[in-house]
Structure 1
């Protein structure tokens, strides 16, 4: 699915970058817009984004509100794996009893934790490798955008004339390749 919709995905990533430029408020700026993209490209129906301090209200909500359980097995597994886990993950015990379908830490390419995505509802047939890759891609891209100034510093140190936008995209491509296994190329 990701391969068959490259223009749509490019538009989504551009929109995500643009929303973070225009909305820099709160702990997770653009959280609701990210959730809308996850609904559109990942078929997510009910989800929430929480800042690293998950004790308060979500920074963004999609669908009807639901209670966040920080000790849920899937939340703990995602924290231990430093990334995305789903109900069929090998990281979970066989009878885990999670109330969630997908949980992903919002970690940028430096490993900084910006919060957590918790998905409570999505269609059964949407819970597949392609959809999980799309969710992982959007969440990683979002987390990298939150930390863009610090992320581009190594590239700018090595190549001071490199435009910041290019430096960020270069780092993002490396992050996507490293974490998702999806090849990237500079054209």
Structure 2
């Protein structure tokens, strides 16, 4: 502020001095074409605003007053000179303020536009990285998790429900395709002894080094183990990258899946979790037949596929927190002529299993939906309601059509199914 005032006074004195040198008889240029001393006030008004320009006006007014006292200027000329100069300065100040505001607004808009452009550039860059990652992910994982489970469902055990080399090798091929495993194998655990010879292998995994820190940790913890400084202190001594136990539903050890070579970018948390899920699912397949027999003994009209899937999925919920769901569509027997149950079966997803149950007043289609959260249940029910209303012309949640749903929880398959059947029957489930 003080710098502006000094500049205003100095510039005014400088211009007055120049005017005196060029026109000593009339330095204020009174009654001339233009009162040149007011140029100082105009410049200060444009540069700093009306406040500092008042100092310039004061300097000129003081000098004009000395001329008035000396008799070199009449009172009328003095008044008109000051009034015209003040008005000129005020008009220039208003003009300057208007344009300063416009320039400031333009600067603000430009700053916002630049910041927005930078933000969009960063977003575009992240989108490009995400696209590259997605492309790499699609290339490295040519099948989805659902398709991987679908392939696992096609694996068949021999007549004695024992694990055969063909089935185990097919499982390794699925693991190799989904997780890009280059070298790995399955080693069986029999008679409380881990056989070092590979039961099946992809690549050349060789004889198992049972004293490897990774293998020891996997055997002791019964959980997936992988090379990590946080997990294994002797990580530099490990010959293998990942070891996954193959456990039955009763935590009995069948064997170990050992991975020796896998691409560096694939050894991440997502891959390890998928390995755990696939290995857990596969190990349940080995002894599922006896459990299916027990389940079908209690529910003889249940389909074998439905029973097998239910027995596999409940341990996934208990051990890995993988959600699955049961959805029952209850159709009044009065609507049997419309084949509603048959039409609903055509709306299933690739992994879903069905069980048709006949109650006293309703025909019930129970759908077992693997890997389905509460949001997935809502989406499925909404799709079924839209199909019933749009394609078949039926309304839902009345006496003729009802829908019930439940997520699987950790208990025996028999009690989970009994609970759900009581629920759709409206019986006491407390």
For the aligned pair, the TM-score class normalised by the smaller chain equals: 0.7 to 0.9
Distance in 2, Cα, partners of 1:22 & 1:95: 39
Find the aligned partners of 2:229 and 2:174 in 1 and give their Cα distance: 23
Counterparts of 1:106-121 in structure 2, within 5 Å, are: 106-121=246-261
Residue 233 of structure 2 is aligned with which of 69, 93, 98? 93
Contact 1:79 1:105 in 2 (8 A): yes
Aligned residue among 219, 224, 245 for 1:105: 245
In 1, the alpha carbon distance for the partners of 2:210 and 2:278 equals 22
Alpha-carbon distance in 2 for matches of 1:111, 1:160: 28
How many positions carry a matched residue from both structures? 184
Counterpart CA distance in 2 for 1:90 and 1:114 is: 27
CA distance in 1, matches of 2:176, 2:294: 34
Q: Distance in 2 between matches of 1:151 and 1:85?
A: 29
Alpha-carbon separation, structure 2, partners of 1:165 and 1:182? 19
State the TM-score, normalizing by the size of structure 2. 0.39
The 1:25/1:147 distance shift into structure 2, 3 A limit, reads closer
Distance change in 2, residues 1:180/1:29 (3 Å)? farther
Deviation, 1:64, is 2.3
Partner of residue 57, structure 1: 197
In the TM superposition, residue 71 of structure 1 has moved relative to its aligned partner by 1.5
Where does 1:78-157 land on structure 2 (aligned, <5 Å)?
78-88=218-228, 91-93=231-233, 95=235, 97-153=237-293, 155-157=295-297
2:144 counterpart SS class: helix
Q: Give the number of the structure whose alpha-carbon radius of gyration is greater.
A: 2
Structure number with greater CO (CA < 8 Å, separation at least 6) is: 1
Shift in Å, 1:158: 4.5
Give the structure-1-normalised TM-score.
0.83
Deviations 1:31-68 (CA, angstroms, capped at 9, x unpaired): 11111111111121100111114335312111123231
> For 1:88-117, what per-residue CA distance to the aligned partner results, in whole angstroms no more than 9, with x for missing partners?
285533646211110011112221221111
Alignment partner of 1:172 is 2:312: yes
Higher mean alpha-carbon deviation, 23-32 vs 106-115, is at 23-32
User: Do the aligned partners of 2:213 and 2:238 also contact (CA within 8 Å) in 1?
Assistant: yes
2:147 is the counterpart of 1:11:
yes
- For the residue of structure 2 that corresponds to 1:88, the secondary structure is coil
The equivalences for 1:58-77 within 5 A come to 58-77=198-217
Cα distance between partner residues in 2 of 1:157 and 1:22 = 22
Residues 1:43 and 2:43 aligned together:
no
Instruction: Give the structure with the larger helix fraction.
Output: 2
> 1:41, 1:134 within 8 Å by CA — same for their partners in 2?
no
- Cα distance in 2, alignment partners of residues 95 and 11 from structure 1: 34
* Poorly superposed stretches of 4+, deviation over 6 Å: 22-25
Q: Is the 8 A contact 2:242 2:259 kept in 1?
A: yes
Unaligned runs of 5+ in 2: 1-133, 327-368, 370-430
Computed over aligned residues only, the root mean square deviation of the Cα atoms, in angstroms, reads: 2.8
- Indicate which of 323, 327, 334 corresponds to 1:183: 323
The structure-2 alpha-carbon separation of the partners of 1:89 and 1:114, relative to structure 1 and needing over 3 Å to count, comes to: farther
- Tell me the SS of whatever aligns to 1:116: strand
User: Following TM superposition, by how much is the alpha carbon of 1:70 offset from its aligned partner in structure 2, in angstroms?
Assistant: 1.1
Between the aligned partners of 1:97 and 1:25, the Cα distance in structure 2 is 35
Structure 1 alignment gaps of length 5 or more: none
Could you say what secondary structure the match of 2:154 adopts?
A: helix
